Amino acid sequence: MEELAALVTELESGQTTLSEALEKFERGMQLVRLCDATLSEAATKIEIVRRMTEEGVEIEAYDGTATIDREDGTNPVPEKPAADDRLF
């Protein structure tokens, strides 16, 4: 990620030649693909604990759409504050 961020900064500076910019862009795209593959692999390994039962833990694989909503339909995570409710 650090290398990718550095490449973006260099490209945004406008201080590279066209040839250098093309090389940096190509390297950046390689890094993006690597990051995407790493995230995809991690997502397949994530398991969500659905609930604790007397028999043990009920889990489900993360499919990108799982939520932490309770069975009663409530969500224990508070919503993000409105823009005007922020402290800073």
Tell me the two tokens of residue 38. Answer: 């790493």
Residue with tokens 């028999």: 55
Domain with 12, as residue range(s), is: 2-44
The predicted pLDDT at position 7 comes to: 94
* pLDDT (tens digit per residue) in 24-81: 999 999 999 999 999 888 877 776 666 666 677 777 766 666 555 556 655 555 555 5
User: Do both 10 and 33 map to the same domain?
Assistant: yes
86 within domain boundaries = no
85 within domain boundaries = no
Distance between alpha carbon 52 and the CA centroid of its chain, in Å? 27
23 closest CA partner among 10, 36, 33: 10
38 within domain boundaries = yes
66 within domain boundaries = yes
Residue 7 vs residue 85, higher pLDDT: 7
Number of structural domains found in the chain? 2
Q: Rounded to two decimals, what is the model's pTM?
A: 0.52
7 within domain boundaries = yes
